[in-house]
C-alpha cells in the first residue's frame, strides 16, 4: 500500500476538486507561452477528473521577473490542449473566485489567478501554519478533495502546496504519482545493473545524491561527467591542469573535493571517472587522456574513449538515472558526450532523466519519447534523489495517515 492517497482512493465524479498544478513556463515579452511541456504533463490528471468540478491553482514566475504575469494565457493554452474550456478567473480566493466556484457544474474547469500574487504564498512555513491563512480559510470549505499534481514545486513548503493538506482529504495527482514511482525505482536500484550518471556544474548536489544512493545500497555504479567528474578526478589525485583547478576553486568546491575523496574510499570501484576528456582549444575539440592536460586549457566534455566506455555500461543497465550534462552541450563541438550518453540511455531497460539542462538536451535531440521517465522537476528531482524530504509529498503522506485513521 502506498503511503499517500491517489485519485483512485476517492469518489471524484461531481465533486469539487482543488488541484495544484505547475504550468510555470517560459514566455516571450508579448505574453506568448513558448513551451507547453508542463501543461501536457498534467493532462492525464485532468482527463481523469473530467466528470468533476475542477479548480486549478498555479503560479507563473515570481515578483520582479518580466514574466511575472496573470494566468490568462495559461487558461487558453490548457483549453487548447485539453479540448475543453478552461475558464480563467482573475482572483485567487476573493468573492469573485468563490462565487465562480460555487456556480460550477460537473465537467467545468477553472484556473485561478497566479498564486504568487498573494504574498503569503511565497513564505516557507509548516503546513499547519499555512492552514490558518486567508487563502485556505476562504477556499477549503468549497472543496471535497485537494490534489497535489505539482511535483516540480513540492520541494517548497509554500501555501498552495501544503496548506490545504491539513484541512482537506488530499491525494497525489497522476503526474505526482508517476514522479514518485519512477524516482523511487531509481533510488532503490532493485534491478541490476543499476547505474547513475551525474554531471553538470552542481557538484554539491550530485555528491549528495551519490552519498544517498550508496547509503541505501541499491546502486551498482555511478558514472561522473562534467564538473562533477573534475571534482572526483581531483579527489582521486589526478592532475586536471591549472585552469581546471582554478575553475573548481572559483566555485568554492574545495570541501566537495574532500567529500568526494571520502566517497571514493568508502565505495571502491563504484564511482567511475572519465579516463580522457575533450579540451577547448580556441573553440576546437582536443581529446586527451587524463594526466596530459595542458595548464591553460579548459575541460569541455568527456573524451571519445570515455564516451564509448560509458555508453556501453549504460546500454547494458537495467536502470539508469541521469542528471546533468557531460560537457558544454550548448557548443556543438562539445555536445558529443551528452548526446551519446542520452542516446545510450534510451537503450537501457528503464531510463530516468532529471534536471533542467538534461531535459533541454533530451528535447533538443527529440529523445523524450524513448525515455521511460523524464522528470518535470529540476530542484525537486535532485532533492528527492538526495534523500531530502519534500514538504509537498510529506504533507500528502500525513494527510493520508489522518484519512486512514
Q: Which residues are annotated as a binding site for substrate?
A: 22-24, 38, 59-62, 116, 156
Q: How far apart are CA 175 and CA 307, in angstroms?
A: 33
Collapsing DSSP to helix, strand or coil, 21 comes out as: coil
Q: Does residue 193 have a cis peptide bond before it, meaning omega lies within 30 degrees of 0?
A: yes
Assess contact for 244 and 254: CB atoms under 8 A. no
Kindly write down the DSSP assignment for every residue of 135-180, as one continuous string.
Answer: HHHHHGGG-SEEEE--GGGTTS--HHHHGGGGTS-EEE-HHHHHHH
The β-bridge partners of 280 are 285, 298
Q: What would the grid cell of residue 35 be?
A: 513551451
Assess contact for 73 and 27: CB atoms under 8 A. yes
Closest CA to 289 of 276, 299, 274: 276
Closest CA to 321 of 215, 176, 224, 392: 224
Which letter does DSSP use for residue 29 in this model?
Answer: T
Assess contact for 161 and 154: CB atoms under 8 A. yes
The radius of gyration computed from the CA coordinates of the chain, to the nearest angstrom, equals 23
What are the phi and psi torsion angles at 124 (to 5°)?
Answer: -85, 115
Q: Distance of CA 23 to CAs 35, 119, 237, 274, Å?
A: 10, 19, 45, 37
Assess contact for 348 and 314: CB atoms under 8 A. yes
Amino acid at each position: 500500500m502506498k503511503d499517500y492517497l491517489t485519485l483512485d482512493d476517492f469518489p471524484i465524479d461531481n465533486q469539487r476538486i482543488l488541484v495544484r498544478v505547475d504550468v510555470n513556463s517560459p514566455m516571450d515579452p508579448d505574453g506568448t507561452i513558448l513551451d507547453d511541456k508542463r501543461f501536457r504533463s498534467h493532462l492525464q490528471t485532468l482527463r481523469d477528473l473530467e466528470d468533476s468540478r475542477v479548480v486549478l491553482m498555479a503560479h507563473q514566475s515570481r515578483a520582479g521577473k518580466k514574466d511575472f504575469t496573470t494566468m490568462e494565457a495559461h487558461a487558453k493554452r490548457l483549453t487548447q490542449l485539453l479540448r475543453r474550456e478552461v475558464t480563467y478567473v482573475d482572483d485567487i480566493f476573493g468573492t469573485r473566485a468563490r462565487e465562480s466556484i460555487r456556480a460550477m457544474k460537473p465537467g467545468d474547469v477553472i484556473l485561478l489567478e497566479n498564486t504568487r500574487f498573494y504574498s503569503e504564498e511565497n513564505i516557507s512555513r509548516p503546513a499547519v501554519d499555512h492552514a490558518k491563512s486567508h487563502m485556505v480559510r476562504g477556499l477549503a470549505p468549497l472543496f471535497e478533495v485537494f490534489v497535489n499534481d505539482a511535483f516540480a514545486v513540492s520541494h517548497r513548503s509554500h501555501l498552495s502546496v501544503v496548506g490545504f493538506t491539513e484541512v482537506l482529504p488530499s491525494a497525489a495527482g497522476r503526474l505526482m504519482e508517476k514522479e514518485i514511482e519512477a524516482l523511487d525505482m531509481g533510488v532503490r536500484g532493485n534491478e541490476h545493473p543499476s547505474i547513475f550518471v551525474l554531471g553538470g556544474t552542481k557538484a554539491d548536489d550530485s555528491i549528495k545524491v551519490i552519498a544517498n544512493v550508496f547509503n541505501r545500497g541499491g546502486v551498482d555504479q555511478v558514472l561522473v561527467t562534467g564538473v562533477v567528474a573534475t571534482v572526483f578526478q581531483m579527489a582521486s589525485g589526478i592532475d586536471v591542469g591549472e585552469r581546471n583547478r582554478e575553475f573548481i576553486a572559483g566555485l568554492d568546491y574545495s570541501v566537495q573535493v574532500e567529500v568526494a575523496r571520502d566517497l571514493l574510499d568508502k565505495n571502491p570501484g563504484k564511482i567511475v571517472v572519465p579516463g580522457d576528456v575533450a579540451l577547448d582549444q580556441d573553440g576546437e575539440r582536443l581529446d586527451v587522456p587524463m594526466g596530459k592536460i595542458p595548464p591553460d586549457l579548459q575541460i569541455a566534455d568527456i573524451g571519445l574513449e570515455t564516451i564509448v566506455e560509458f555508453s556501453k555500461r549504460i546500454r547494458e543497465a537495467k536502470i539508469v538515472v541521469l542528471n546533468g550534462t557531460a560537457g558544454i552541450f550548448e557548443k556543438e563541438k562539445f555536445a558529443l558526450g551528452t548526446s551519446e550518453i542520452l542516446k545510450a540511455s534510451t537503450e537501457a531497460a528503464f531510463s530516468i532523466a532529471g534536471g533542467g539542462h538534461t531535459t533541454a538536451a533530451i528535447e533538443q535531440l527529440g529523445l523524450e519519447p524513448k525515455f521511460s521517465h523524464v522528470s518535470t522537476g529540476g530542484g525537486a528531482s535532485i532533492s528527492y534523489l538526495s534523500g531530502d524530504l519534500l514538504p509537498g509529498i510529506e504533507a500528502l503522506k500525513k494527510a493520508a495517515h489522518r484519512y486512514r485513521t
